[in-house]
Amino acid sequence: MRTAQAKAGWLSGAVALGLVLAGCGGGDDGGSELTVWIMEPGNPEVQATIDGFAEAFEAEHEGVEVTVEYVPWTEAHTQLTTALAGGQVPDLTEVGNTMTAEFAEAGAFAEVTPPEGVEFVEGLAESSVVDGVNYGYPWYAGARALIYRTDIFDQAGVAVPQTWDDLLAVGDTIAEQVDSIDPLHVAGAYQHMNQPLIWGTGGDIAVQNGETWTPGFNTPEGRQALEFFLTLWERGWTPEGGVHWNSVDVRDAFANEESAMMIGGGWDLRAILDSNPSLADRVGTALMPAGPAGSRDVFAGGSHLAVFQESDEPELAKQFAEFLIAPEQATAFAEQIGFLPGTVAGVQAAVGGDELFGVFGEQFIEHSRAYPVAGWWGAVEGSGAIPGEFQKLMLGDVTVDEAAANIDAAIQGAIG
Amino acid sequence: MPRSRARSVSGDVPSVSARRPRSVRRSFDDKLLPVLLVTPALVVIAGLVGYPVLRTGWLSLTDADGLRALTDGEMAFIGLGNYLRILEDPVLRRVSLVTVGFGLACVAATMVVGVAVALLLNRRFRGRGVLAVLVLLPWAIPNVAASFVWKWIFHDQYGILNWALGLDGFAWFNHWLTAFAVIGVVVVWQSFPFVAVALLAGLQTIPGEVIDAARVDGAGGWQQLWRIRLPMLKPLLLVLVVISTIWDFKVFDQVYVLTEGDPTRRNEVLAVSIWREAIAQLHIGLGSALAMVLFLILILFTIGYVWLAREQA
């Protein structure tokens, strides 16, 4: 009995080893294999769509086998890091546009040239260019705008706010005129609403001058942005738990008819209408109100497709990437996940003329930009320092001046 | 655990061999065979435990930082630099102390609840079997799932707890003390069932005569517990305290899901700091040093417990 078991053990071990060796030597059957990583937003339909694209591509290219592997978004950074450290990289990967520069600077990605004659949305396209070299195909993205309740606005007799001052005034009027609803909620862990406020005052998160980066929160503009955020919080419109809230909490509150305005993306509005369809004829959208410097810019958050430097099939990987970002595929996919394709034409095809969602397209094309396109940005996000300082500000642990100085110290620490 | 098991196996063999006459065959059986039998386990343990620990120890002495350190091995030996940084950094220093304080509090609470539940289940009453199964449930739920459920229970707006207590919008996670209370509840809720069931098994080995004799001598419930039951279970209690200490000092999931160490990193414990430094920011050297600090703390506590046990014996 014992020897039989031992034999079985040896045998299975040998088989496993054989399989591993066979795996290493794969791809010798004349055809080409392409391994692609796609980030998984937790929606099973997305997998079906992407698998369909892979099959269509295989049908067009004889002898090509595309293997799509899905990586959860929360694991994206770790998976890419591990793959790179272990030298086991796919040929092509989707990568969040805040991470592209980090991996590009580490030498992970190959230079690619997006197809000519296509106008890409700048906010997304600029975030794949490091030191003048482009490392990604702009795939899809989204931008946040103002989502508001038309019925509450009518009741309070207010118009859509065009500036930050308007926003405060409209909020005050709603607080005065309408019971049982908060004008607007802010959230400590909603970094993509909070940190872009600095663009509204004419500042920047960090400014590049040649080789050097200088953090920008500890400046008059940076402090003015923090001051505005603090004002929104100190109005008392947000429950005290807002310190710990994130974008989903803000959205849930809006869907539960507890707030009259929120800053959110098209995907937020879809989720809101899904959970509370009765809001369909009572919501409106508008561009993000302009800050004192006149800018309405918000964060252009999305994805690139990047080819790995170590890929055995770089040309094929580029072809598949171009296939995915082609209008037909990109528009279908972006719409499915509530985002917008990365081309101006694609955005217009997707939401142009739409009363509700058209605004998100305009916001994305005209008024969005990227976070600092630099390898160190990943460490800033990883440190959680910026949302942390916003939370401390809300708790009264720090003053605006201290928060500004702390944020800059954290950014400087990451720059090195 | 595996290491101590391996030691006890090799330790048993010589005592058996002492009685046997010497011969080539015997000396093979006595000396070589045990080594051969233990070797596969040792190789696996050395590969899966020894190497990572040594590698982490080495990385903790380097300035490994960023993707380049992983891809090209770009790092330099800096001695105890990372450890000095931990000592100098007010946040990391606080995190180390908080980990010990929070861990010990969780261990104490787990033991108290575990003993109480074990004593309850040791009585005969209707529905005891059902209750015993229900008690095990929290242990069977994955940490992350349980943490999400508790996060909703404690949600400031829609949580059932604030509703039940009539606390309108009380934000449990805004203050580090209440946030730690919530995390502690989840950790203890998930770890007491194991302690309770293990102790229940122990309680049932105590001969009924001993308790009867104590009762005849006029010992009350508390005296029976403190003078008889717990002292008789001391070896078991000690093992449970050691296991709980290891579990509760390196708790990650619950903290990560419930607060991620926020607000303002006051709810951070070492396991979360290690993740924040080594994984999120790729400060591999510093993260490794933090991991070694946690490792050393756990070794110190374990040695302390073992020493205590020997003293008592």
> What part of B 126-145 touches A (C-beta under 8 Å)?
none
Backbone angles phi, psi at A354, to 5 degrees: -75, 130
Q: Are strands A206-209 and A212-215 parallel, antiparallel or unpaired?
A: antiparallel
Collect all residues with Cβ–Cβ distance below 8 Å to B256 and sequence separation of at least 6. B147, B272, B275
The pLDDT value given to residue A298: 97
Confidence at B313, pLDDT banded by 50, 70, 90: low
CA distance A282 to A303: 32
- Apex CA A233: angle with CA A238 and CA A301, to 5°? 90
Query: Percent of chain A having pLDDT more than 90?
Result: 76
Confidence at B70, pLDDT banded by 50, 70, 90: confident
> What part of B 24-83 touches A (C-beta under 8 Å)?
66-68, 70-71
ipTM of the complex: 0.79
Q: Are strands A64-72 and A32-40 parallel, antiparallel or unpaired?
A: parallel
Mean pLDDT of chain A: 90
pTM over cut 0.90: no
H, E, C per residue of A68-116: EEEEEHHHHHHHHHHHHHHCCCCCEEEEECCCHHHHHHCCCECCCCCCC
Name every chain A residue with its beta carbon within 8 A of the beta carbon of B169. 239-241
More confident residue, A13 or B50: B50
The Cα-based distances of A334 to A304, A327, A363, B41 in angstroms read 13, 10, 16, 51
| Structure token digits, residue B79 | 């001695």
* Continuous segment of H or E residues that includes residue A302: strand A301-307
* Interval A332-337 mean pLDDT: 84
CA of B85 to nearest chain A CA: how many angstroms apart?
A: 14
Confidence at A337, pLDDT banded by 50, 70, 90: confident
Contact assignment for A384 to B173 by CB distance below 8 Å: no
Buried b (16+ CB within 10 A) or exposed e, A139-172: bbbbbbbbbbbebbbeebebebbeebeebbebbe
The pLDDT value given to residue A192: 95
Name every chain B residue with its beta carbon within 8 A of the beta carbon of A414. 281
The pLDDT value given to residue A335: 81
The pLDDT value given to residue B19: 53
The Cα-based distances of B171 to A185, A262, A392, B151, B177 in angstroms read 15, 21, 15, 11, 12
Q: Say yes or no to pLDDT of B270 above 70.
A: yes
- Apex CA A48: angle with CA A266 and CA A265, to 5°? 10
Collect all residues with Cβ–Cβ distance below 8 Å to B10 and sequence separation of at least 6. B34, B35, B38
Collect all residues with Cβ–Cβ distance below 8 Å to A322 and sequence separation of at least 6. A115, A137
Query: What does the pLDDT look like over A270-286, one tens digit per residue?
Result: 999 999 999 999 999 99
The pLDDT value given to residue B263: 61
A384 touches chain B (CB under 8 A): yes
Contact assignment for B280 to A189 by CB distance below 8 Å: no
| B262 → chain A, closest CA residue | A388
> What part of A 106-125 touches B (C-beta under 8 Å)?
106-108
| Structure token digits, residue A80 | 């890419």
CA of B79 to nearest chain A CA: how many angstroms apart?
A: 20
Cα dihedral sign for A56, A57, A62, A63? negative
More confident residue, A262 or B309: A262
| CA atoms lying within 13 Å on the CB side of residue A152 | 28
Cα dihedral sign for A390, A394, A395, A401? positive
CA of A349 to nearest chain B CA: how many angstroms apart?
A: 37
Contact A273/A343 with Cβ under 8 angstroms? no
- Residue A201 Cα to chain centre, angstroms: 22
| B277 → chain A, closest CA residue | A383
| A240 → chain B, closest CA residue | B171
Buried b (16+ CB within 10 A) or exposed e, B88-116: eeeebeebbebbbebbebbbebbbebbbe
Confidence at A27, pLDDT banded by 50, 70, 90: very low
Determine the residue type at A193.
Answer: M
A262 touches chain B (CB under 8 A): no
The pLDDT value given to residue A52: 93
DSSP summary character for residue A202 = T
Contact A230/A398 with Cβ under 8 angstroms? no
Query: What does the pLDDT look like over A149-190, one tens digit per residue?
Result: 999 999 999 999 999 999 999 999 999 999 889 999 999 999
CA distance B299 to B294: 9
The pLDDT value given to residue A96: 94
Contact assignment for A81 to B67 by CB distance below 8 Å: yes
Contact assignment for A387 to B265 by CB distance below 8 Å: no
End-to-end CA distance of chain B: 21
Number of Cβ atoms within 10 Å of the Cβ of B83 = 16
Q: Say yes or no to pLDDT of B214 above 90.
A: no
Q: Residue B261: name the closest of B301, B290, B300 by CA.
A: B290
Mean pLDDT of chain B: 88
When computed from its CA atoms, the radius of gyration of chain A, rounded to whole angstroms, is: 24
CA distance B275 to B284: 10
DSSP summary character for residue A343 = B
> Is-cis flag, bond preceding B263, omega within 30?
yes
CA distance A398 to A278: 41
- Lowest-confidence range among B16-25, B124-133, B180-189, B200-209? B16-25
CA of A85 to nearest chain B CA: how many angstroms apart?
A: 5
* Interval A374-403 mean pLDDT: 93
Buried b (16+ CB within 10 A) or exposed e, A51-78: eebbeebbeebeebebebeebeeeebbe
Backbone angles phi, psi at A355, to 5 degrees: -60, -45
Give residue B166's region: left, alpha or beta (phi > 0; psi -120 to 50).
left
B4 touches chain A (CB under 8 A): no
* Interval A315-330 mean pLDDT: 93
Q: Which residues pair with A68 in a beta bridge?
A: A36
Give residue A317's region: left, alpha or beta (phi > 0; psi -120 to 50).
alpha
Contact assignment for B264 to A395 by CB distance below 8 Å: yes
Residue of B92, B173, B264, B277 for testing the chain A interface, max A β-carbons within 10 Å = B264
Measure CB to CB from residue B173 to each of A85, A103, A244 and give the nearest one.
A244
Q: Residue A207: name the closest of A199, A215, A217 by CA.
A: A215
More confident residue, B212 or A16: B212
Determine the residue type at B296.
Answer: L
Contact assignment for B157 to A383 by CB distance below 8 Å: no
